[in-house]
C-alpha cells in the first residue's frame, strides 16, 4: 500500500566526525557545534548555580542558619540568582537548543550569520569569565537585580559583574538578531509563516524581545557603572539621583526578559505535546500568534515589580490591569496543549513525562502570578517567599523542565544515541516530586510572612523550611540521575534512528546526527504537525515517512462518463 520514501544513507559522516581536532571546534562556524558548545556551557553554569542553591538550602535547615555568615549568605544567593538567570536560563533554550535546531527545522544549511553566531558564543564565555572573577574576588551581594542605592555603595564586585552582564547582553542580542534574519530570509520555498514549526515562532518572538529590550539593560548597567565610578548623580540620592529610576529601567528589560526565558520553553512544549501525542497540534494559529502577543504585551507591565515603590495610585492600577492581559495569551497556550493531548495517542516517553510535569508546574507558577499582579494581595506578598516560589515555578518548573524535555527529545538527533527510557522517566518523576517538595512549602511560608533574602528565620517556620531543604536535595538528585542517563547513553546507548519519536518537522528527515550541511537535498516541506504519512517500522525501531502509491505512468484515460437521463431510467 505504501512504501518508505527515504532510505538510510550508508555514509557515516556527520557534523561530529566530519572534521577532527580541538581547532575544528574552537573556530567552527557550524551552528550545530556552536549549539553543542553552548549546551556544555549552560550545563556547567547550571551546575555552579545549582550547587550554590544547595548551599543556601542546607544553611536554612536551621532557624539560626547552619554555617554561612550573613554576608556570605547574601553573596551566595546573589551569585546563585545571577548565574542562573544570565548564564543559564536566558541562553539555555535559544542559544543551545535553538542554535542546533533553527536551521535544521528550516531545512537550511546554517544560520544567516555564522560568524556572528560564533562571536556570540565567545561573548558569552567572556561574560562568564567576569562572573567567575566576581565570584573569586569580593563576591557580589546586591541580589541579581542590582538595585540602587545599595549597588552604588557596596564594596563587592558590582563593576565586574555588571560588565559581565553587559557583555552577556550583546551575546543575547547577536543570537536574537541572527535568528530574526535566519527565519525571515532562509525559510525554504513552501514554508510560509503559518507552516513554520511552533518552536520557530517561539524563538522568533523571543528574538524580538532580545533585540528590543536588552539594549535598555545594557545602558542601565553602564549608567550604574558610571555612577559608581564618577558619581554622575543619576541613581544615587546622595548626588541628587533617583534610585527608583533604576528600578524602572531595570524592569523595563527584566519583565520582557522573563519572557525571553519562558517563550522558548513554550515552543519546546508545543513540539513535545504534538509529537508524543501523535496528534496534530490544536489551535496552531492561536499558539503562534499568542507568542507574538506575549512578546509585545510584555513591554507594558514592568511596573508590577514596583507596586510598593511609591508609584502613584493610578499608575499601580494601570500596571495591575495590564499585567492581567499577559495571562490571556499564556492561558491560550495551556488550553491548546491540553486540547492537543485530548484523544491523542500519548506515548509516555521521557520527553513527554517532562512535558507533563511542565504543564502542572507552569500552570501553578502562572496562576500564582495573578496574586502578585493584584494590588491588594501583592502588598502583602511582595518580597516574601511567595514571590520566590512563584518565579521558581515558572522559571525552573517551566523553563528548566521544558529544557530537559527538549534535551531528551532532541538528544538522539544531536548525539546519535538513544538513552535508557526507564531511567529517563524515573529522573522526571524524582525531579517533579523534589521540585514540589521544595517550592510548595515556600508559598505557605511567604503567605505567612517569611521575607525573602534572609539568612535566618523565626522558629515557627522551621518545619516548612526543612521540607524545602529536603526537597531541594531530592530535586538535585533527580537532576543528577537525568545527567547520568544522558552521559551513559553516549557510551552505552543504542544508535539512534532518524526519527525515534515520529516527529514531522524537518529535523527528523535528516540522519541522526545530521551531516555537516544538514540535508543532502533540500527536504520536502509539509505540514509540520501532520502525522498521517508517518509509519512505525518495528524492524529499525524508526518512524518512516511514507508516500501513497502513485501511478507514475498515466493510465489510458477512460472516456468521460455520459450523462444519464434519470427520467429515461425510471
Ligand atoms: C510566564 C512566565 C513568568 C516568569 C518567567 C516570571 C518571572 C518572575 C520573576 C523572576 C519575578 C521576581 C521578581 C523579583 O525579583 O522580585 C516575578 C515576580 C512577579 N511576577 Fe512573574 N513571571 C511569570 C509569569 C507571571 C504572570 C503570568 C504574572 C501575572 C499575571 C506574573 C506576575 C508577577 C508579579 C506581579 C511579580 C512581582 C511580585 C513582587 O515582587 O511583589 N508573573 N515573576
Ligand atoms: Cu514581571
Q: How far apart, in whole angstroms, are the C-alpha atoms of residue 34 and residue 13?
A: 18
333 lines ligand 1 (CB under 6 A): no
- DSSP string covering 290-323: HHHHHHHHGGG-GGGG-TTTT--HHHHHHHHHHH
Rounding to the nearest 10 degrees, give the CA dihedral for residues 193, 196, 198, 200.
-90
Q: What confidence score (pLDDT) does residue 538 get?
A: 85
- Going residue by residue through the chain (570 aa), what tens digit of pLDDT does each one get? 333 444 444 456 899 988 888 999 999 999 999 999 999 999 999 999 999 999 999 999 999 999 999 999 999 999 999 999 999 999 999 999 999 999 999 999 999 999 999 999 999 999 999 988 888 888 899 999 999 889 998 888 899 999 999 999 999 999 999 999 999 999 988 899 999 999 999 999 999 999 999 999 999 999 999 999 999 999 998 899 999 999 999 999 999 999 999 999 999 999 999 999 999 999 999 999 999 999 899 999 999 999 999 899 999 999 999 999 999 999 999 999 999 999 999 999 999 999 999 999 999 999 999 999 999 999 999 999 999 999 999 999 999 999 999 999 999 999 999 999 999 999 999 999 999 999 999 999 999 999 999 999 999 999 999 999 999 999 999 999 999 999 999 999 999 999 999 999 999 998 889 999 898 888 888 889 988 888 888 888 888 888 665 555 556 666 666 665 555 444
Q: How far apart, in whole angstroms, are the C-alpha atoms of residue 88 and residue 84?
A: 5
C-alpha torsion sign, points 332, 334, 335, 339: positive
379 lines ligand 1 (CB under 6 A): no
Degrees, nearest 5: CA angle 182-185-191:
95
- Under 8 Å CB-to-CB from 492, ≥6 apart: which residues? none
Q: How far apart, in whole angstroms, are the C-alpha atoms of residue 267 and residue 179?
A: 14
Q: How far apart, in whole angstroms, are the C-alpha atoms of residue 294 and residue 206?
A: 10
Q: What is the CA radius of gyration of the chain?
A: 26
391 lines ligand 1 (CB under 6 A): yes
What pLDDT, in 10s, does the model give residues 77-107?
A: 999 999 999 999 999 999 999 999 999 999 9
Residue 558: count other Cβ atoms within 10 Å of its Cβ: 6
What pLDDT, in 10s, does the model give residues 302-323?
A: 999 999 998 999 999 999 999 9
What pLDDT, in 10s, does the model give residues 343-384?
A: 999 999 999 999 999 999 999 999 999 999 999 999 999 999
Mutate to test the pocket of ligand 1, among 394, 401, 443 (most ligand atoms within 8 A of CB): 394
Residue that the C-alpha cell 542590582 belongs to? 146
Cα 253 to ligand 2 centre (Å): 10
- Under 8 Å CB-to-CB from 30, ≥6 apart: which residues? 15, 110, 114, 516
Q: Give the CA diameter of the chain.
A: 104
Nearest ligand to the C-alpha of residue 305?
A: 1
pTM of the model: 0.90
Q: CB–CB of 288/201 below 8 Å?
A: yes
- DSSP string covering 213-280: HHHHHHHHHHHHHHHHHH--SSS-GGGT--HHHHHHHHHHHHHHHHHHHHHHHHHHHHHHHHHHHTSP
Degrees, nearest 5: CA angle 531-534-538:
135
Sorted by where each starts, the structural domains of the chain and their CATH numbers stand as: 26-545 (1.20.210.10)
Retrieve residue 315's grid coordinates: 499608575
Q: What confidence score (pLDDT) does residue 537 get?
A: 85
395 lines ligand 1 (CB under 6 A): yes
Q: CB–CB of 485/429 below 8 Å?
A: no
Nearest ligand to the C-alpha of residue 306?
A: 1
- Any idea what DSSP says for residue 140? -
Name which residue sits closest to atom 31 of ligand 1, judged by CA.
369
To the nearest 10 degrees (0 to 180), the angle between helices 313-341 and 284-297 is: 160
Q: What confidence score (pLDDT) does residue 570 get?
A: 41
Amino acid at each position: 500500500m505504501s512504501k518508505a520514501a527515504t532510505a538510510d544513507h550508508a555514509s557515516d559522516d556527520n557534523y561530529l566526525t566530519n572534521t577532527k581536532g580541538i581547532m575544528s571546534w574552537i573556530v567552527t562556524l557550524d551552528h550545530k557545534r556552536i549549539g553543542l558548545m553552548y549546551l556544555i556551557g549552560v550545563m556547567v553554569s547550571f551546575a555552579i548555580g545549582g550547587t550554590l542553591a544547595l548551599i543556601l538550602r542546607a544553611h536554612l535547615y536551621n532557624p539560626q542558619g547552619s554555617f554561612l555568615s550573613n554576608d556570605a549568605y547574601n553573596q551566595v544567593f546573589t551569585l546563585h540568582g545571577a548565574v542562573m538567570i544570565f548564564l543559564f536560563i536566558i541562553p539555555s533554550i535559544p542559544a543551545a537548543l535553538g542554535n542546533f535546531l533553527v536551521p535544521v527545522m528550516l531545512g537550511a544549511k546554517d544560520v544567516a550569520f555564522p560568524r556572528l553566531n560564533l562571536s556570540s558564543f565567545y561573548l558569552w564565555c567572556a561574560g562568564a569569565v567576569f562572573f567567575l572573577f566576581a565570584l573569586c574576588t569580593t563576591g557580589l551581594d546586591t541580589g541579581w537585580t542590582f538595585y540602587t542605592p545599595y549597588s552604588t555603595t557596596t564594596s563587592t564586585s558590582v563593576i565586574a559583574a555588571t560588565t559581565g552582564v553587559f557583555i552577556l547582553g550583546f551575546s543575547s542580542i547577536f543570537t536574537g538578531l541572527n535568528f530574526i534574519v535566519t527565519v525571515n530570509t532562509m525559510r525554504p520555498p513552501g514554508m510560509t509563516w503559518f507552516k513554520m514549526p511552533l518552536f520557530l515562532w517561539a524563538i522568533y518572538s523571543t528574538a524580538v524581545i532580545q533585540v528590543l529590550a536588552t539594549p535598555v539593560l545594557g545602558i542601565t548597567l553602564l549608567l550604574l557603572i558610571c555612577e559608581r565610578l564618577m558619581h554622575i548623580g543619576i541613581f544615587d540620592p546622595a548626588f541628587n539621583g533617583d534610585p527608583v529610576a533604576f528600578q524602572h529601567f531595570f524592569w523595563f528589560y527584566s519583565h520582557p526578559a522573563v519572557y525571553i526565558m519562558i517563550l522558548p520553553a513554550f515552543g519546546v512544549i508545543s513540539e513535545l505535546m504534538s509529537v508524543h501525542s501523535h496528534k496534530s497540534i490544536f489551535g496552531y494559529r492561536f499558539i503562534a500568534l499568542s507568542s507574538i502577543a506575549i512578546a509585545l504585551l510584555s513591554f507594558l507591565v514592568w511596573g508590577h515589580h514596583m507596586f510598593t515603590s511609591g508609584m502613584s495610585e493610578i499608575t499601580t492600577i494601570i500596571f495591575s490591569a495590564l499585567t492581567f492581559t499577559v495571562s490571556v495569551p499564556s492561558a491560550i497556550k495551556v488550553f491548546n496543549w491540553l486540547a492537543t493531548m485530548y484523544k491523542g495517542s500519548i506515548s509516555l516517553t521521557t520527553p513527554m513525562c517532562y512535558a507533563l510535569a511542565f504543564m502542572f508546574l507552569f500552570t501553578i507558577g502562572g496562576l500564582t502570578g495573578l496574586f502578585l499582579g493584584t494590588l491588594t494581595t501583592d502588598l502583602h506578598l511582595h518580597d516574601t517567599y511567595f514571590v520566590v516560589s512563584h518565579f521558581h515555578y515558572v522559571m525552573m518548573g517551566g523553563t528548566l523542565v521544558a529544557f530537559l524535555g527538549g534535551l531528551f527529545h532532541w538528544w538522539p538527533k544531536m548525539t546519535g544515541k538513544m538513552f535508557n527510557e526507564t531511567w529517563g522517566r524515573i529522573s522526571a518523576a524524582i525531579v517533579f516530586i523534589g521540585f514540589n517538595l521544595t517550592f510548595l512549602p515556600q508559598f505557605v511560608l511567604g503567605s505567612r510572612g517569611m521575607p525573602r533574602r534572609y539568612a535566618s528565620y523565626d522558629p515557627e517556620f522551621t518545619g516548612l523550611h526543612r521540607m524545602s531543604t529536603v526537597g531541594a536535595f531530592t530535586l538535585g538528585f533527580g537532576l543528577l540521575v537525568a545527567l547520568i542517563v544522558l552521559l551513559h547513553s553516549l557510551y552505552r546507548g543504542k544508535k539512534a534512528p532518524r526519527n525515534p519519536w515520529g516527529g514531522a518537522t524537518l529535523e527528523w528527515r535528516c540522519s541522526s546526527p545530521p551531516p555537516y550541511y544538514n540535508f543532502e537535498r533540500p527536504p520536502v516541506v509539509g505540514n509540520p504537525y501532520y502525522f498521517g504519512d508517518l509509519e512505525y517500522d518495528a524492524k529499525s525501531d524508526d518512524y518512516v515517512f511514507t508516500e501513497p502509491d502513485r501511478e507514475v505512468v498515466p493510465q489510458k484515460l477512460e472516456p468521460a462518463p455520459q450523462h444519464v437521463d434519470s427520467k429515461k431510467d425510471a
